[in-house]
Structures are given as structure tokens and as C-alpha cells.
Amino acid sequence: MSHSQLTMLDSAQVEQVLINLTKNAIEAVQQNSSDTSASVQLKTGCNEAGQHYVEVSDNGPGVAEHVVDMMFVPFFTTKQKGSGIGLSLSRQIMLNHGGDLIYIQREQGACFRCVFG
């Protein structure tokens, strides 16, 4: 995407995606409640293809390997009181905006990148 192109966004929907990802990150770091170095970060950038993105990352326990393939499937959840809608709906919102929501494997914690088309 060149800087002269505009991407039309439904700001309320994109805000919901960021709220959901941030809430998930906060819940993840709270699992280690005794850890005082818990952190959640939001970072913006531009990838090699020139697409802008927002990353939400944390230093919590991360995503288990067997969960990675399923985490965007509707109604799949690892949470006791989860509906399994958050990540699948968040990805669908990003796809509807011409972008994507991807999980980036890190050594520690989880990282989700909202890519804008």
C-alpha cells in the first residue's frame, strides 16, 4: 500500500479487535500473578509489503502448539468461560477490511498482528 492510498476502516470494529486482543493479553499475563515483570505491548509498524500493522504482544505463557492451528476456529476456546468467538471474529473483521490477523510465534508470550490491506 503506498502512502497515497487510503484504507477505509470501520473504526468501531477495528477498535473491538484491538480491545479483544489486549484483553486476551492482559488475561494471559495475569495467569502468572506473582510475576511483577508482566507486560502487554501495542506496537505499530509497516511490513516489507508496505502494509501498516498493529501488534499486540505479551510476555505471558504463550499459545500452546496444539492450540495454534485451532485458535481462529469459531467456538474453539481454551478458557473456562470463553465462547471461542473473539479471535475468529477479530480475524473476520480484519479480513473484511482487506487485511488479516496473524499469530506470530515468539520465544516468550504471544503476539498477534493486525495487518491492514
Q: What band does 81 get if pLDDT is binned at 50, 70 and 90?
A: confident
pLDDT over 50 at 3, yes or no: no
Assign 3-class secondary structure to the chain.
Answer: CCCCCCCCCCHHHHHHHHHHHHHHHHHHHHCCCCCCCCCEEEEEEECCCCCEEEEEEECCCCCCHHHHCCCCCCCCCCCCCCCCCHHHHHHHHHHHCCCEEEECCCCCCCEEEEECC
More confident of the two residues 5 and 32 = 32
Q: pTM of the full predicted structure?
A: 0.88
pLDDT of the residue at 51: 93
Q: What band does 26 get if pLDDT is binned at 50, 70 and 90?
A: very high
